[in-house]
Amino acid sequence: MSSTDPLQAVARRLQERAEQLALEIAAAEARDDGTREVSDRKDEAEASLRSVVDDAGIERDLTELRAIASARERIEAGSYGRCTDCGEPIGLDRLLAQPTAARCTACQSEAERRERQAR
């Protein structure tokens, strides 16, 4: 990215999202404090399901936090906005839609294709 204004806007969005995720993780962990009362098998099953859903949500949020940290590191290093695979600029529209994008659209598509084939 050549202009500082869009870069500052993206950095601000990344910071705000990181703060939001931290609050969501803290709330999910607070819900899973182990003090839920379970009176029968149905309650036990519901509590177990809530725990699994909360754990999946926390993992998703942690993954996004890692992507945000990586994007912020690229901003600090001056490499933000360049594809980590081919080095070409990542389109501004893509960065605005997905501020954590590390790859251009072509390289991201190729990475996803390889990942599908590996499964």
The model's pTM is: 0.74
Please tell me the predicted confidence (pLDDT) of residue 34: 57
DSSP state of 89: B
The model's confidence at residue 79, banded by pLDDT at 50, 70 and 90, is: very high
Q: Residue 49 maps to which CATH number?
A: 1.20.120.910
Write the pLDDT tens digit of every residue in 46-59: 766 676 677 888 89
Contact 85, 105 (CB under 8 A): no
Write the pLDDT tens digit of every residue in 10-46: 889 999 999 999 999 888 888 765 555 656 776 667 7
pLDDT of 74 > 80? The answer is yes
Contact 23, 61 (CB under 8 A): no
Q: Which domain holds residue 48?
A: 4-118
Q: What's phi and psi for 73, nearest 5 deg?
A: -65, -40
Max Cα separation, the chain? 61
- Tell me the C-alpha distance between 41 and 65, whole Å: 36
Please tell me the predicted confidence (pLDDT) of residue 25: 87
The tally of domains found in the chain comes to 1
